[in-house]
Amino acid sequence: MSTFGERLSTAVAERGPLCAGIDPHASLLVEWGLEDSVAGLETFAFTAVEGLAPHVSVIKPQSAFYERFGSAGVAVLERVIAESRALGALVLLDVKRGDIGSTSQAYADAYLDPASPLASDAITVSPYLGFGSLDPFVDTARRFDAGLFVLGLTSNKEGPEVQSATVDSGETVAARMFDHLRRLNADAAPLGSFGAVVGATIGDAGEDLAFNGPILAPGFGEQGGTAADVRRIFGPLTVLPSSSRGLLRAGPSVDALRDAALRTNDELR
């Protein structure tokens, strides 16, 4: 099997860079005329998969919006992952896990081991217990040719409290995270499998983002980030601008969801 970085490079070349979030906010279910229930969740999620997964390179479900329905919601998430992959999209599961030791390994097994019903192509993880706490995720991703997106410069206003703090070398915490990613992606071609999350609304990144890995850029679309922002902040780097509500508000029409995804990809190319 090819590495995640290789698969992602191919997918972006064929389908464009847009990452489509399938996040069943309660308010979106209501906008679609659905009940905020497992039945509404199923209708919403699988309509979104049908409209988006055949046309974008990456589908990104946010796990929390499924977990809030308990085991029935997680069962829907399992199907979203499987059906999105069957339609040719890579799946980046947004779980932002980060722990230590055997707990990190258990999370890695849950989301990256192909034997798991939640197995995805990549997941989001948090390095802020120390980058070394991610070793079980890194080792498991390498074993199964999966990918990781490490929180780097996030778009939330509280992020700089940690990410812009400085370490003993004088560099910022975020810069240290990018240094770790540079090491993990060394010599990978055409692209490393270890990426970062960098918000599309951060203004000037102020950091060297060239670490030979992909960048997930939330904040695009509904949160104010534009295609011009993406080009200005990231230049020629491999970036996945992520939109969820901005795309999903085109529903519940499958055709309208498809058209919104294709139109957005055209803007980003």
160: tokens are 């700089």
Would you call 96 a catalytic residue per the annotation?
yes
Rounded Cα distance between 221 and 260, Å, is: 12
Q: What residue type is assigned to position 109 of the chain?
A: D
- Active-site position among 25, 79, 85, 96: 96
Instruction: Provide Rg for the chain, Cα atoms.
Output: 18
Query: Contact, 50 vs 261, CB < 8 A?
Result: no
Residue 102 neighbours by CB distance under 10 Å = 9
Residues contacting 205, CB < 8 A, separation 6+: 153, 198, 233
Rounded Cα distance between 244 and 113, Å, is: 26
Rounded Cα distance between 260 and 244, Å, is: 11
Known catalytic residues?
A: 96
